[in-house]
Structure 1
């Protein structure tokens, strides 16, 4: 199957009192079933791009692997919608704690959270990484500049991993959790150290998103959207700096503000 994140569809539009026919672009939605050591383990609904990175990141976030080299084989059959994963030393306790389930592309109740695996794999972050307010705003602008799929369809979430100086890699997906898993997989597959890195993110900061950031081991999360109270409680407990509503030259630093060396912009500063 050809890897297409964006598909076209005929649509009848209405504008200024007139109907007309046009071809519109829509985000592709693709079900991928993971078979782990021969057993069906989970089905993910995602954007059909960077599937290997997503699978690797998801396995790591669920505590099945800690390093990419623990996977002895990984193949994806796009025609049938299956990912086949073999792991020599499968941690049975963690595999059993992850029930076979359908993982939807929508946000919130379609995902199960607060499994035993979350407790086993969430990390308290002690990184001393610092960022200025200007750098945080610049990272969010870079994320938006790399959001071509969202701009074309309006149906994608975007996530990027950044250094203090700029964006390193960016992924898009219809599921915000999938976009983060792709980043996690990319870091594991390419041996990217994350202790001094930052995540820029387009979606709401939910408890699920916060837990994924913790499992990745990253101390600063930037978002243009709002957080939930539970996410902020977790951020406080896990040592993560959560910043939301980064829009224009504004932002809200909700937790661990000590990592942001310029909490506010001075009138003389420009982007």
Structure 2
């Protein structure tokens, strides 16, 4: 439902004259998330993969560490409602992981070929079909050096990353040697979500913010921005990317 977008007539100017044409808009609908029978949050999102979004939000809030801590998760994509229940013995409301805990696993010594960064950026762009139809969708993906393994999309940047985080909680993939790709600007909240997934490398199509770079540096993540075509910028921990030199001035 709505995956191809919602058709809406627009008055389009082609440089010479106006014409009425139908354009596809990215679907964005209001959603309510209930936890243990109480309203946890209300937000707008794309009407698909709601269970992944729920898991991701609970993880970011520090309410769960794994999908098994839920006794129930029902995502109704027609009513746009999510209902979840925590197992009583697993309740950990308000508990946030420390910075040290989030950094565990960041010391993984992988060496990513330059061609893999370029290839994955191309595959990521090709997979973003909803974006190409509407121009209004963000995406996040988990990949190895050759292919995309998990791919999630949403009209919201944060929602897209939360969906990927939730999918990783649900699927429990082996994160050894895995990378994260993201379609938009990397703000601190996006870096936070990516850091909880556990991959040491984040590749973004757009720019990172200064705070995101600082967080990536602290948490031992390799942060790449402006990955388009053959080019990209490495902002932190370049030692994981083939051909970089520590004398470049980055840590």
TM-score by length of 2: 0.89
Match of 1:39 in 2: 38
Deviation of 1:248 after TM superposition, in Å, equals: 2.1
1:76 maps to 2:57? no
Q: Is this contact kept in 2: 1:122–1:215, CA < 8 A?
A: no
Q: Note closer, same or farther for the CA distance 1:195–1:64 as it changes in structure 2 (3 Å cut).
A: farther
Aligned residues: 241
Q: Is this contact kept in 1: 2:30–2:43, CA < 8 A?
A: yes
1:123 maps to 2:124? no
Q: Is this contact kept in 2: 1:118–1:211, CA < 8 A?
A: no
1:90 maps to 2:91? yes
1:150 maps to 2:126? no
Deviation of 1:83 after TM superposition, in Å, equals: 0.7
Distance, in Å, in 2 between the alignment partners of 1:185 and 1:25 is: 28
Distance, in Å, in 2 between the alignment partners of 1:171 and 1:143 is: 11
Secondary structure in 2 matching 1:65: coil
Q: Note closer, same or farther for the CA distance 1:118–1:44 as it changes in structure 2 (3 Å cut).
A: farther
1:167 to 140, 143, 148: 148
1:15-41 Cα deviation digits (max 9, x unpaired) = 243222221100011121111111111
Q: Is this contact kept in 2: 1:225–1:245, CA < 8 A?
A: yes
Gaps of 5+ in 1: 95-116, 265-271
Give every structure 1 segment of 4 or more consecutive aligned residues whose post-TM-superposition deviation is greater than 6 Å: none
Q: Is this contact kept in 2: 1:73–1:85, CA < 8 A?
A: yes
Q: Note closer, same or farther for the CA distance 1:93–1:171 as it changes in structure 2 (3 Å cut).
A: closer
Distance, in Å, in 2 between the alignment partners of 1:250 and 1:147 is: 19
Deviation of 1:5 after TM superposition, in Å, equals: 5.7
Q: Is this contact kept in 2: 1:56–1:185, CA < 8 A?
A: yes
Match of 2:165 in 1: 184
Task: Note the 1:94-109 alignment, pairs <5 A.
Answer: 94=95
Task: Note the 1:54-73 alignment, pairs <5 A.
Answer: 54-73=53-72
Q: Is this contact kept in 2: 1:35–1:85, CA < 8 A?
A: yes
1:263 to 235, 244, 247: 244
Deviation of 1:66 after TM superposition, in Å, equals: 1.2
1:232 maps to 2:213? yes
1:139 maps to 2:120? yes
Match of 1:267 in 2: none
Secondary structure in 2 matching 1:218: coil
Deviation of 1:204 after TM superposition, in Å, equals: 1.0
Deviation of 1:72 after TM superposition, in Å, equals: 0.6
Deviation of 1:247 after TM superposition, in Å, equals: 1.9
Q: Is this contact kept in 1: 2:168–2:197, CA < 8 A?
A: no
1:22 maps to 2:50? no
Deviation of 1:3 after TM superposition, in Å, equals: 5.1
Q: Note closer, same or farther for the CA distance 1:51–1:122 as it changes in structure 2 (3 Å cut).
A: farther
> What is the root-mean-square deviation in Å for CA atoms of aligned residues?
1.9
Q: Note closer, same or farther for the CA distance 1:175–1:121 as it changes in structure 2 (3 Å cut).
A: farther
Q: Note closer, same or farther for the CA distance 1:38–1:259 as it changes in structure 2 (3 Å cut).
A: same
Q: Is this contact kept in 2: 1:253–1:263, CA < 8 A?
A: no
Match of 1:53 in 2: 52
